[in-house]
Structure 1
Amino acid sequence: MKLAIDHHVTRVNQESDYIFGRREFAQNLKNIFTNTTGGFVLAIDATWGEGKTSFIHQLIHDLKDTEGLIPIYYDAFSNDFSSDTFLSIGATIAHEVELHFDKIGKQSRTKTQIDHLKSVTKSTALELVKLGTNLGLKSLTAGLIQSSDLEKIASNAFTSATFGTLALDLNEKYKAYENARSNINSYIKTLESISNNNEKVIFFIDELDRCRPNFAVEVLEKVKHLFPAKNVIFVISYNKSQLSKIISNVYGASPDDSLKYLEKFIHIEANLPIADSEQATNSYGKLFDSFMGEFEIVVNYDEIKLHQLKEMFILLCSSNSLKMNSREIERAFSYISFCFAALSQDKGVELFEYFLPAAMIKVKNRSLFEQLKSGKFNSFGGDNNTKWMYEFFKKYYYHTLKLEASNIYYVKGFKEACDIVSMFKLPTDDE
């Protein structure tokens, strides 16, 4: 059993099975990438936990089989330890392009272009360092720059050529600027030259709204100013509202000005589609199966019992109940796996049907969890947001209901499950 999973290892299906009815949207994007000429920046907007990362990974999986497209995934959050956004992005492109051509058996034909791309990426990064725009070079560089080179640059260039700390002669500043501009232009031309057969790089930037504020802004600025190659399409996945707040914090700008600033970097924006009720039901069922497998939760129930539990799970996820997104569901399964690990196998299996709703309710609605964790519920229901709980308990726990008063029912197993769930707190619970 696993206590946690890496949510970046998402539910990629080998048969292009998009959850929440997003197959048509994926096909539309694929057509755009194939049919358009010239580079541009596309943004996909969705709130936290709506499945942006899962969608992007599924789309990348499909695009890998599309001739002429080179999809690349870049996790901004995982790379924000670096201060050098240009080198981080440029090295990722060089590395992934090389892997692509090697995979399709054309690495020898493109070796010269790729080697030149690596060289120009390095020289451009160095000129930007001298210009004082990127002071942290200790990043993943896919072998472009060695540690010894970094230290030599740091000692020779930073002490004498950093604008932020030391005044330089105006001529030196001008020379540094001219060199950087020349190298940027050379980099763009070199990046375009790898497209022998009009191949396009589709560069997906994910988790931008989770990384360091300065890094997020720098990524946008580098994409806008340093990567305008005609064969590179950037797809930025973000929560627009959250990212605009980050920009406000970095620049001290108003919310309206932050949105206007953000829009300068985006050519076109699309919202991640929301599933209809039938699509949502099917997708929740697939998520149940997937998370049970990924967390390695084994309950050994018969098919009827397991089907009933999946039905319960789907009901709790629905818009008429807890209305949970995929990230919240993952957190609930994290709770369940911890609870299982804290008990004997037999006891974990016995309480699983109670762990499932207890964990989901705690993740989604803490106040409701506090009301119900005693295992008691009122048959009169509650307000419009919680009265569905009575019908839920009556339907799924009719065999263990105990009447304690004229309208108060008690479910012992649910209380036991809540006692154990209450022992644990995930780091994300205060989000």
Structure 2
Amino acid sequence: MTLKHSHNDQATADTCHFLGTESFVTTIAEDIEKSESPRTIAITGYWGSGKTSCLAGVYKKVTATSPAEITNNKQEQTGKYTGIWFEAWRYQNEVSPIIALLHCIKNHFSSSKKFIDGAGKLASVSVLGALTVLDGVIKQATGLSGFSKISEIGEKYEKDNLMSRLAADQINDALTKAVNVLLGDNKEKLVIFIDDLDRCEPESAYKLLEGLKLYLSIPNCTVVLAIDQQQIERFLQKQFINLMSERKSEIDSQYSYLGVEYLEKLCQEAYRLPIPNQKQKSDFFISHLKLLFEDENGSTVIADLNEILKSYDVLPANPRRLKMISNKLAGYLRKVDGSNVKGVINENCSLFKEFNNIIEPKRSESFAAIALIISSLSVSYRRIYESIELRADAARDIFDFVTSEKGTNYSTPSSAFYELNKDHRTTDVQAKYEHPSDLSIFKLKPLFDEVTGLHVYTQSTPKTISEIMHQFVNYFNHNQVN
């Protein structure tokens, strides 16, 4: 079968690629529209849960354009609001990250087509003056002369719009008026989207948050942060403890709450990214898998997988991992595409001879399920995957693992199941909250269940399933049948 190239890990602003968060994105966009500024909104969620794509989706909702930093295609924003996209971790080594953000704001407006005349120059004195005020704020933030030496090109703007003397406590007033000029008559707010703050070092994250409070708490500006809330709270707590230590102040239990309280004070609203349900994960996975096929030869496998995923909740909630599994599965199907399975009827074909024990249509369904299992193991449970490559009976250990008492030989460090520390025999995984990147939960458990598992569904045996999985991996990795 013919397949396209694999998916990359780039976030997207297109709602068709969201993992059940279309309504969530719309709600945040409506909050921005209906609420008064200044306002700071947080989109919170675990690493890998899709915060960047949601942030980009909100950006597209309010600006009618996807972020150029994601699409590599800069377009003029046509929505009601002007959006600034800022990837915080790229600037974490700056002495003051807020300066980098202010530069991004200035660069956005200074390069805007609506301000450029036919000769390629800024056409408006007011705009030039407003940009000069931004320059002054940047100088102030860097500890230079600030507003005391605003260049001549901004003097008229200063005289018309600002008090003759600008002091430090008038920075917000100056920025408010400058941003109003830059927004123009057809834009209502400046919306700043900050991504990857939780990837920064604690000190850098704290400096940027402090800068937001000092410089951008202005009436025509809304800030939207995409963060792992728990991670940021830990960063802030660590930063506050360090500050107390430097001041030789007493550190007691109250400081464990400072990070939480600081973030609550900064963010007027926090939206928790919803955990996708079984259907949303399946739809996301199947849609990405379909995009990798250039012909119809994969339709049978995809149809089989679609049915399997209706019955078995075995996919992670992490969109990055779902893309990786779809890439891996497509890669397997380039080489082991199901025609091999049909060929087992021929006695001369030794590949997957164990499939002779499975009757159609369950044979093709088994192939699809095993392709999914192998792909998932390769991405998320590599030690188990490697054991299956080495031993034809290794997958039988999986059947035993999901039904064994906790504390058996699978809890030793040498076991391929050692990292899977949840009790899969007595714990109802579906009833517990789901961390999208929690690899200690064996998500494939339902496919190996002794009552409802794949071997029951396909009327095969654990021995048959195990041998097929072994053949599958070795044919792909070594182009041979053991």
Structures share fold, TM-score greater than 0.5: yes
Partner of 2:129: 116
Partner of 1:358: 374
Cα distance in 2, alignment partners of residues 403 and 30 from structure 1: 50
Residue by residue, what CA displacement relative to the aligned partner does 1:248-301 show, whole Å, maximum 9, x if unpaired? 3333274322211222211111112233444443233223335x3xxxx76873
1:48 aligns with 2:47: yes
Partner of 2:193: 204
1:242 aligns with 2:231: yes
Count of aligned pairs: 356
Q: 1:89 to 1:347 in 2, by over 3 A?
A: same
Partner of 2:89: 77
Residue by residue, what CA displacement relative to the aligned partner does 1:143-171 show, whole Å, maximum 9, x if unpaired? xxxxxxxxxxxxxxxxxxxxxxxxxxxxx
Q: What's the offset of the Cα at 1:234?
A: 0.5
Q: Give SS of 2:82's match.
A: strand
What runs of 5+ residues in structure 1 fail to find an aligned partner?
134-177, 421-431
Match of 2:473 among 394, 410, 415: 415
Q: What code does the residue aligned with 1:358 have?
A: I
Give the percent of matched residue pairs that are identical in Structure 1 and Structure 2: 17
Q: What's the offset of the Cα at 1:35?
A: 2.2
1:5-404 correspondence runs (5 A): 5-8=8-11, 10=12, 12-13=13-14, 16-17=15-16, 19-65=18-64, 67-97=79-109, 102=114, 111-130=124-143, 180-183=168-171, 185-197=173-185, 199-252=188-241, 254-290=255-291, 292=292, 301-309=297-305, 314=309, 320-332=313-325, 346=335, 356-366=372-382, 368-369=384-385, 372-373=388-389, 374-376=391-393, 377-378=395-396, 382-383=402-403, 384=425, 387-390=445-448, 393-394=454-455
Partner of 2:151: none
Partner of 1:154: none
Q: 1:278 to 1:219 in 2, by over 3 A?
A: same
Partner of 1:170: none
Cα distance in 1, alignment partners of residues 127 and 457 from structure 2: 61
Q: 1:129 to 1:335 in 2, by over 3 A?
A: same
Q: Give SS of 1:235's match.
A: strand
Q: What's the offset of the Cα at 1:42?
A: 0.7
Residue by residue, what CA displacement relative to the aligned partner does 1:354-404 show, whole Å, maximum 9, x if unpaired? 665334224334565466454533366723356423366538988xx7875
Q: Give SS of 1:411's match.
A: helix
Q: What code does the residue aligned with 1:95 have?
A: N
Cα distance in 1, alignment partners of residues 198 and 139 from structure 2: 28
Q: Is the 8 A contact 1:110 1:194 kept in 2?
A: no
Cα distance in 1, alignment partners of residues 48 and 170 from structure 2: 42
Q: What code does the residue aligned with 2:94 have?
A: S
More relative contact order, 1 or 2 (CA 8 Å, 6+ apart): 1
Q: Give SS of 1:361's match.
A: helix
Q: Give SS of 2:16's match.
A: coil
Q: Give SS of 1:264's match.
A: helix
Q: What code does the residue aligned with 2:114 have?
A: D
Cα distance in 1, alignment partners of residues 145 and 373 from structure 2: 54
Q: 1:324 to 1:375 in 2, by over 3 A?
A: farther
Residue by residue, what CA displacement relative to the aligned partner does 1:116-147 show, whole Å, maximum 9, x if unpaired? 333222222223222699xxxxxxxxxxxxxx
Q: What's the offset of the Cα at 1:92?
A: 1.6
Cα distance in 2, alignment partners of residues 300 and 204 from structure 1: 41
Q: What code does the residue aligned with 1:364 have?
A: S
Cα distance in 2, alignment partners of residues 371 and 62 from structure 1: 47
Q: Is the 8 A contact 2:194 2:224 kept in 1?
A: yes
Q: Is the 8 A contact 2:133 2:174 kept in 1?
A: yes
Residue by residue, what CA displacement relative to the aligned partner does 1:170-205 show, whole Å, maximum 9, x if unpaired? xxxxxxxx8655555423431233343352112111
Q: 1:18 to 1:116 in 2, by over 3 A?
A: farther
What runs of 5+ residues in structure 2 fail to find an aligned partner?
65-77, 147-165, 243-254, 341-366, 404-424, 426-441
Cα distance in 1, alignment partners of residues 141 and 307 from structure 2: 57
Cα distance in 2, alignment partners of residues 285 and 333 from structure 1: 8
Q: Give SS of 1:53's match.
A: helix
Q: 1:350 to 1:70 in 2, by over 3 A?
A: farther
Residue by residue, what CA displacement relative to the aligned partner does 1:5-27 show, whole Å, maximum 9, x if unpaired? 3524x2x33xx436333222222
Q: Is the 8 A contact 1:355 1:417 kept in 2?
A: no
- With the length of structure 2 as denominator, give the TM-score of the two structures: 0.61
Cα distance in 2, alignment partners of residues 396 and 111 from structure 1: 72
Q: 1:36 to 1:324 in 2, by over 3 A?
A: closer
- With the length of structure 1 as denominator, give the TM-score of the two structures: 0.67
Q: Give SS of 1:47's match.
A: coil
Q: 1:397 to 1:418 in 2, by over 3 A?
A: farther
Cα distance in 1, alignment partners of residues 337 and 116 from structure 2: 48
Q: 1:264 to 1:280 in 2, by over 3 A?
A: same
Cα distance in 2, alignment partners of residues 413 and 83 from structure 1: 56
Q: Is the 8 A contact 1:192 1:229 kept in 2?
A: no
Q: Please provide the CA RMSD for this pair.
A: 4.2
Cα distance in 2, alignment partners of residues 349 and 180 from structure 1: 71
Cα distance in 1, alignment partners of residues 207 and 329 from structure 2: 39
Q: Give SS of 2:217's match.
A: coil
Q: Rg: which structure is higher?
A: 2
Partner of 1:143: none
